[in-house]
Amino acid sequence: GAVVSQHPSRVICKSGTSVKIECRSLDFQATTMFWYRQFPKQSLMLMATSNEGSKATYEQGVEKDKFLINHASLTLSTLTVASAHPEDSSFYICSAEFSRGSNYGYTFGSGTRLTVV
Amino acid sequence: GQSLEQPSEVTAVEGAIVQINCTYQTSGFYGLSWYQQHDGGAPTFLSYNGLDGLEETGRFSSFLSRSDSYGYLLLQELQMKDSASYFCAAPNTGFQKLVFGTGTRLLVSP
């Protein structure tokens, strides 16, 4: 249980184009989703927290106009990298909180490898 | 703010025992989790310590000392497949987000 499906798993795009990444909670309602970015051999850095029906909260230093987050339903959050550039190439991972009985935790999508050429 | 520090790399041989440390500084503390991540994959949950002491889950154990702001992950009977990155993580005050440690890359050799 508590599965998050993330798509696409891998995308290559040209510089200047926009890329949308989707995360869906399959068997639970995710009122809050987290978006992380991970550069090679580094840790996961939180970019933003999205809450269903409200504006996302961005971490310091993350450009909200470049990384557009939409959490329109309890099962879907999207991250759009607007006008992507090579420095945006990274591994993007979503995560959601879940609570089921006595179990509580965070579950992760499988990640999206973005390469901007 | 929060910071969780880990050694960058640890090496060991198959069958050995290895300990990965995590020291943290947080404004509030709500427990320490451990995650494993293979290259190109998503983090997978390994263990959680909400209270001081040792939690054992098969070959993996995790320890927490809140008075020392310190925890560790213990991996026993190492296997080649254990080669991965390991992260400690803690939620911030109010459980608004999960913050990850700097990460430790474990290399298991034959």
In terms of Cβ atoms closer than 10 Å to its own Cβ (0-12, 13-18, 19+), residue A80 is middle
Q: Are strands A10-13 and A112-116 parallel, antiparallel or unpaired?
A: parallel
Find the CB nearest A34 among B33, B41, B98: B98
In terms of Cβ atoms closer than 10 Å to its own Cβ (0-12, 13-18, 19+), residue A62 is middle
pLDDT digit string (tens) for A39-77? 999 999 999 999 888 889 999 999 999 999 999 899 999
For the cut 70, the answer to whether the pLDDT of residue B107 exceeds it is yes
In terms of Cβ atoms closer than 10 Å to its own Cβ (0-12, 13-18, 19+), residue B27 is exposed
Which residues of chain A from 40 to 99 reach within 8 Å of chain B, CB to CB?
Answer: 41-46, 49, 91, 93, 95, 97
Find the CB nearest A46 among B42, B97, B105: B97
Write the CB contacts of A99 (distance below 8 Å, at least 6 apart in sequence): none
Beta bridge partners of B52: none
pLDDT digit string (tens) for B47-74? 989 899 999 989 999 999 999 999 999 9
Residue B24: what pLDDT?
Answer: 94
pLDDT digit string (tens) for A92-116? 999 998 776 766 778 999 999 999 9
pLDDT digit string (tens) for B66-95? 999 999 999 999 999 999 999 999 987 666
Q: Are strands A57-58 and A10-13 parallel, antiparallel or unpaired?
A: unpaired
Band of residue B98 on the pLDDT scale cut at 50, 70, 90: confident
How far is residue B38 from each of residues B42, B61, B85, B105, measured CA to CA in Å?
7, 19, 6, 10
Write the CB contacts of B40 (distance below 8 Å, at least 6 apart in sequence): A91, A111, A113
Query: Is A110 near chain B, with CB under 8 Å?
Result: yes
Interface of B with A (CB under 8 A): 33, 40-45, 48, 87, 95-103, 105
